[in-house]
Amino acid sequence: MNYPEYKQPLNYGQVGTDILAWWKQNGIFEKSVSSREGQPTFVFYEGPPSANGAPGIHHVMARTVKDIFCRYQTLLGKQVNRKGGWDTHGLPIELQVEKELGITKEDIGKKISIEDYNQRCRETVMRFKAQWDDLTEKMGYWVDLDDPYITFEPEYIESCWALLKKLYDKGLLYKGYTIQPYSPAAGTGLSSHELNQPGTYRDVKDTTIVAQFKVKRDDKSEKLFVGADDAAETFILAWTTTPWTLPGNTGLAVGKNIPYVLVRTFNPYTFAPIRVVLAEALVGRYFSEKGKDASLEEFKAGDKVLPWRIEGSFKGADLVGIHYERLFGTNKGFPSFEGDERAFRVVAGDFVTTEDGTGIVHISPTFGADDFKVAQLNDIPALLVPDKDDPNKKVPIVDRTGRYVVEMGEFGGRWVKNYDGHDDSGTDYKTLDESIAIRMKGDGTAFKVEKYEHTYPHCWRTDKPVLYYPLDSWFIKTTAVKDRLIELNKTINWQPASTGTGRFGNWLENLVDWNLSRSRYWGTPLPIWRTQDGTEEICIGSIAELRQEIDKAVAAEVMTHNPIPEGATVDLHRPYVDDIFLVSPSGQPMYREPDLIDVWFDSGAMPYAQWHYPLENKETFEKNFPADFIAEGVDQTRGWFFTLHALGVMLEDSVAFKNVMANGLVLDKNGNKMSKRLGNAVDPFATIQQFGPDATRWYMIANAQPWDNLKFDLAGITEVQRRFFGTLFNTYSFYALYANLDGFQAREFDRVPHAELTELDRWILSKLQSLILEVRGYYDSYDPTKAARAIQDFVTDQLSNWHVRLSRRRFWKGELTADKKAAYETLQECLVVVSQLMAPIAPFFAEWLYQNMTNGMREEAVAKNTPLAPESVHLTLLVQANETRIDKALEERMELAQRISSLTHSLRKKSVLKVRQPLQRILVPVLNDTTREQVAKVEDLICAEVNVKHVEFLDDTSGVLVKSVKPNFKRLGQQYGARLKAVGARIQQMTPEEISTLEKTGQLAVEVDGQPITLAPDDVEIRTDDLPGWLVATDGPLTVALDVTLTDELRHEGVARELVNRLQNLRKDSGLEVQDKIRVTLASGQAGLEAAVQSFGDYIRGEIQAVALDFAADVNGGSVLEFDEYKVPVQLEVANG
């Protein structure tokens, strides 16, 4: 047997297992890299997964995408090194450890030492590594698992340090602050994780104030003083639920597109005449309908209803730049302020809404994240006071315990909220907020004071309200290279493009500095040591440097001994680095800045740190930077994609990757997020085992574009398996069955010359070349879905359901003629090429198909070093399309044949004439010679397919054609515009004479709405979709009629065919082999039957391989054939030998 044969159905899971074992045994992955040594490289970066959880089905998705392009580039002959990696630091691991130990962050350093805690993290983080490796292998993701980079290893961390030092030396690393949730009572910052604990958000009743900010009159604000014929001042209104932040106000934010109005009215507490600015949508909150346009002159102090009227309206953008007076200035005993000219002005903020308040937001940059951001963006300084310990240092007006600093005038030293638990039960007790409100009412700067209930986050430990407070943080100054980041991003090929321009592009446009600090335990420590006063610091860039500095510190007696002498193993994690003290040039001890760095720095550093660059392997790094291709989930946009890009630009002034695919999420079949809790998560191992890795991968890629979310439905895999893999397997089985019967073995040499092939063969080979071009194009442009769909359509529609179906008879009978050989060779070529084209997506099945098809050719291929010499499809070079074989006219007429056949089938169906009944002819109207010639060339195929004797063409000369016209709206629209409807209607009324004139003379003059116009042939589409007296079927411009006249001869032939069919079934049911010869006896006495056998005896005997076919009066003990009106006993004997 030249070609292995298999039982139906094929066990695809087993194919996966077998091929995997074979790959391993023969080191195919290694060979796929080593065999490309010296060739151009394709650089791929593996985004490191974290192995602290079990892999899910979505990982199969992401890794399939990665694998496809690495395999494809290998098929193109490039060398694709694929170093695996593991992400090992970060909060999720810490949380998991804490959960398992039943502890909280509080307990670290108390119930458990940092050393033990980190040890536990280290053990936990790789817990699922074995499962990950297993999945990687079983799904066929080729990546080097033997030598991965691991982010917790000392060399990796050392590389990160070296990179940080580079940034430090470029002045891109600095210490600043960021606004974070802070618990004054606990004296600690709170993570977003802690803030998301249940019960932290609570309803509280706070004093709220709508404050009046007095506008300074100048050119910019003149419009707010219209008709200012009196002493009325103009104020901007802003609402706050935290009045204690008002003395710290240095700006006001409006929404650029929000409409605002200027309202003339009175202050409800001082009754002074004023004008105020607020959002138009919120006027109703502060002013009653009664007071609208009421007389301002008649208003008296103490009146309940405030009269008001609108005196102007503006967009937020019109207000930007207006200056106002500081609310609590030095004149009122408050601290002095530097930078007046930049502060106390109106800016635009995209966070401003008209949901509540006044549509204008009060900004105090030290006490709100939005405030801080908008202030930074607009260069608005914060109110700061000198630190009492260090006059060089500036601190906020609230200290770390939650009380005002002493400089705060009459409120100095007061608690912002009750953080110390003092007695606040007295009836005349006033909170700071209330005191401020009273003061402002008196000053005429409060427009409205009221108690308001809202939700506010609380510290989960102390139950006290959270303070948004500036905390020290280390930053990478990404804003310094913002323009370059944007510029270089435009050179990256994003798939889909919108992620690059939109999600990522917008993110870069609004870039802020990268906050690197994390107050945690398990991660890369910040390699910066500082003196107590912060005046001297050092950034360490390597273990060697650290060792040297320690020696200096030992010499200066800052340390007693060097804990990491030459030759000792080094762990750069906490707590070890915290116990290292260094000495400054001036002899001061230096302590490590306690923070860890953002884990995203770890992964973003992988292009360098995976090679321990810049400490060594300069050449390897340079050869592998930047990456040609990376792929991860779209959720990584601001994670890995950003840190890779940012570090690439800052360190190398280059992109870090040239092509990137951001794939979507894998949801359950109903479109819900998969989660273990909901029980709708799909187990990747079970899926792969049941359906095999190929169908799983193929389904994921073919079903939807990778960047769309995938609704994962196992039924979809079944469908792919049946429709695509099943059909391909059947096609192979068909080939194998007959090739083995004929003892046929394809060779790369002595093939039937292409010119001698039949139309059908040249057609499928033409289609095959087109497919190669198409699929290569899709892979090249990172569109695997279209590649998969094109392959699938070729296999099912063209190869199986047309070429093989119409070729079946060529394989069945007779010797190995040239035509039969051509049929084998054509199918063989198609299957081998398909195995190559599908190999990136379905690597196991492709291997299976390739080997089954080519193993018999291997010896000769190796000897002569031909394209099929490689033992694995993944080691081959992807075939190039032979464009000289592409015959568009042939492809076109084959499509005509397919469509005419389909139409004829449909006519047979309508006339209830089964395909086995031969018919005389079909009629095809043709309007031009080209169509006629095209159809004529495929007449035989059509006749065989639909069982008619011939195709008859009807042209103009037949005199039976009825033509109709359809307006070509596209052309006409451009020419006639608004008159199109009338012109179209006129065209549909064209008479046969007019059509004829247009055809013959190439133009036709008609009148539309009294205006003469001239129609050209291109303005209409002429077709014939009716043949009077005939039943017709139409498909676009094609029309077919079927001659249903039955002659005796046709009837007899129909009977003969039925007979053949029944006898074939009988052969099969009797368990005969295809090659067995038989002897048949039929019961006599049925005239029609006997006549049919008389006329078509040779045909019948040939088909059923009968040496004899006779009638006898008495046939006993056999079967009875039933068809049409016949019922005939039959005897069938084997006649071998």
Partner RNA sequence: GGGCUUGUAGCUCAGGUGGUUAGAGCGCUACACUGAUAAUGUAGAGGUCCGUGGUUCGAGUCCACGCAGGCCCA
Catalytic residues, by residue number, are 48, 87, 600, 636, 640, 673, 676
Q: Find the binding residues for RNA in span 588-627 (CB under 7 A).
A: none
1024 binds RNA (CB under 7 A): no
Among 380, 476, 606, 634, binds RNA (CB under 7 A): 634
Among 709, 866, 996, 997, binds RNA (CB under 7 A): 709
Question: How many Cβ atoms sit within 10 Å of the Cβ of residue 707?
Answer: 20
690 binds RNA (CB under 7 A): no
Find residue 403's DSSP bridge partners.
415
Question: How many Cβ atoms sit within 10 Å of the Cβ of residue 887?
Answer: 18
Round to whole Å and give the CA distance between 651 and 170.
9
In the complex with RNA, the residue whose CB is nearer, 131 or 902, is 902
In the complex with RNA, the residue whose CB is nearer, 1 or 130, is 1
Min dist. Cβ of residue 145 to RNA (A)? 27
- Residue 276's identity, in one-letter code, is V
Q: Find the binding residues for RNA in span 942-981 (CB under 7 A).
A: 967, 969-970, 972-974, 977-978, 980-981
Round to whole Å and give the CA distance between 939 and 551.
94
Segment interacting with RNA, rule: CB under 7 A, options 268-276, 723-731, 770-778, 1082-1090: 723-731
Q: Find the binding residues for RNA in span 877-936 (CB under 7 A).
A: 902, 905-906, 909, 914-916
1044 binds RNA (CB under 7 A): no
* DSSP-derived secondary structure letter, 269: T
Round to whole Å and give the CA distance between 741 and 272.
108
Cβ 160 vs Cβ 605: under 8 Å: yes
Tokens of residue 296, six digits = 């301002």
In the complex with RNA, the residue whose CB is nearer, 667 or 1046, is 667
Among 379, 387, 622, 1076, binds RNA (CB under 7 A): 1076
Give the N- to C-terminal CA distance of the chain in Å, as an integer.
Answer: 24
What SS3 class is residue 728? helix
Closest to 358 measured CA to CA, from 235, 231, 269: 235
Round to whole Å and give the CA distance between 964 and 1027.
11
170 binds RNA (CB under 7 A): no
635 binds RNA (CB under 7 A): yes
Min dist. Cβ of residue 1078 to RNA (A)? 8
In the numeric block, the tokens 């009221």 are attached to: 450
Round to whole Å and give the CA distance between 668 and 656.
34
713 binds RNA (CB under 7 A): yes
Min dist. Cβ of residue 634 to RNA (A)? 5
Segment interacting with RNA, rule: CB under 7 A, options 336-344, 679-687, 702-710, 1125-1133: 702-710
1125 binds RNA (CB under 7 A): no
Cβ 1039 vs Cβ 1024: under 8 Å: yes
722 binds RNA (CB under 7 A): yes
Question: How many Cβ atoms sit within 10 Å of the Cβ of residue 920?
Answer: 16
Q: Find the binding residues for RNA in span 24-43 (CB under 7 A).
A: none
- Residue 631's identity, in one-letter code, is A
Min dist. Cβ of residue 180 to RNA (A)? 11
Min dist. Cβ of residue 706 to RNA (A)? 10
In the complex with RNA, the residue whose CB is nearer, 165 or 482, is 482
State the sign of the Cα–Cα–Cα–Cα dihedral 1068, 1072, 1078, 1080.
negative
Tokens of residue 687, six digits = 């899926």
1122 binds RNA (CB under 7 A): no
In the complex with RNA, the residue whose CB is nearer, 484 or 808, is 808
Segment interacting with RNA, rule: CB under 7 A, options 448-456, 633-641, 684-692, 869-877: 633-641
711 binds RNA (CB under 7 A): yes
Among 708, 780, 929, 1122, binds RNA (CB under 7 A): 708
Min dist. Cβ of residue 556 to RNA (A)? 42
1074 binds RNA (CB under 7 A): yes
In the complex with RNA, the residue whose CB is nearer, 436 or 1072, is 1072
Round to whole Å and give the CA distance between 73 and 631.
15
Q: Find the binding residues for RNA in span 727-766 (CB under 7 A).
A: 727, 730-731, 733-734, 737
Among 227, 671, 777, 1002, binds RNA (CB under 7 A): 671
What SS3 class is residue 903? helix
Round to whole Å and give the CA distance between 926 and 952.
10
Find residue 633's DSSP bridge partners.
663
639 binds RNA (CB under 7 A): yes
Segment interacting with RNA, rule: CB under 7 A, options 66-74, 106-114, 498-506, 834-842: 498-506
Round to whole Å and give the CA distance between 800 and 807.
10
502 binds RNA (CB under 7 A): yes
Segment interacting with RNA, rule: CB under 7 A, options 163-171, 758-766, 800-808, 850-858: 800-808
Among 449, 558, 651, 1072, binds RNA (CB under 7 A): 1072
Segment interacting with RNA, rule: CB under 7 A, options 10-18, 546-554, 795-803, 1090-1098: 795-803
Min dist. Cβ of residue 35 to RNA (A)? 34
Q: Find the binding residues for RNA in span 802-831 (CB under 7 A).
A: 804-805, 808, 812
1119 binds RNA (CB under 7 A): no
Beta-carbon contacts of 446 under 8 Å, excluding residues fewer than 6 positions away, are: 209, 210, 211, 212, 269, 437, 440
Closest to 29 measured CA to CA, from 37, 16, 20: 20
In the numeric block, the tokens 């079909």 are attached to: 922
77 binds RNA (CB under 7 A): no
Round to whole Å and give the CA distance between 794 and 741.
27
Cα–Cα separations (whole angstroms), residue 4 to 25, 250, 694, 729, 731: 21, 82, 20, 12, 13
Q: How many residues bind RNA (CB under 7 A)?
A: 83
Min dist. Cβ of residue 292 to RNA (A)? 27
Min dist. Cβ of residue 708 to RNA (A)? 6
* CB environment 777-804: b (16+ within 10 A), e (fewer): ebbeebbbbbbbbbbbebbbebbbebbb
In the complex with RNA, the residue whose CB is nearer, 431 or 687, is 687
Vertex 861 angle, CA 859 and 862, to 5°: 70
Round to whole Å and give the CA distance between 883 and 826.
16
Cβ 398 vs Cβ 367: under 8 Å: yes
703 binds RNA (CB under 7 A): yes
Instruction: Give helix then strand counts, H and E, for the chain.
Output: 37, 40
